[in-house]
């Protein structure tokens, strides 16, 4: 062993990912995932929501999201890391093309491998 520690995730890495979301940077978001990474959206047909596996599937979710809600924004309020797992808490707002305003509280449960997202599992509360 050469004395180096394999760090899967750091606060700096979580902030880089948050910044990609803040910029609505699809490439930055997609490249935060491992090739075999998975994004589980809070909404969807299954009890876990809807799953997008692999970079192209993940891209297929975020590209139209930013096209239909150009002002979508996440304000991160808290985060913590334990081993290769991390949690971020946030407030998301958006205006849909229909004019509907969305305001959600949520969190993402992450699993990382060598700095890349293996799983991003999203949970929300819809603020009415």
pLDDT tens string 58-69: 999 999 989 888
C-alpha to C-alpha distance for 12 and 50, rounded to whole angstroms: 28
What band does 6 get if pLDDT is binned at 50, 70 and 90?
A: low
C-alpha to C-alpha distance for 23 and 73, rounded to whole angstroms: 9
Could you tell me the CATH number of the domain that includes residue 21? 3.10.450.50
Residue 40 has pLDDT above 70, yes or no: yes
Residue 10 has pLDDT above 80, yes or no: yes
Total domains, the chain: 1
Residue 94 lies in a domain: yes
C-alpha to C-alpha distance for 86 and 91, rounded to whole angstroms: 17
Residue 88 lies in a domain: yes
pLDDT tens string 97-107: 889 898 989 99
This prediction has a pTM of 0.88
Residue 6 lies in a domain: no
Residue 111 has pLDDT above 80, yes or no: yes
Range of the domain at 62: 11-126
């Amino acid at each position: 062993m050469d004395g180096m520690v394999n760090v899967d995730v750091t606060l700096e890495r979580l902030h880089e990912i948050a910044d990609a979301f803040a910029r609505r940077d699809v490439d930055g978001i997609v490249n935060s995932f491992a090739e075999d990474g998975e994004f589980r959206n809070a909404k969807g047909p299954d009890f876990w929501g809807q799953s997008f596996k692999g970079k192209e599937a993940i891209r297929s979710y975020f590209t139209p999201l930013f096209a239909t809600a150009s002002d979508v924004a996440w304000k991160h309020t808290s985060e913590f890391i334990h081993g290769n797992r991390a949690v971020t808490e946030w407030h998301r707002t958006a205006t849909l093309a229909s004019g509907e305003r969305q305001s959600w509280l949520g969190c993402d449960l992450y699993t990382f491998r060598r700095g890349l997202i293996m799983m991003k599992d999203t949970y929300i509360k819809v603020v009415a």
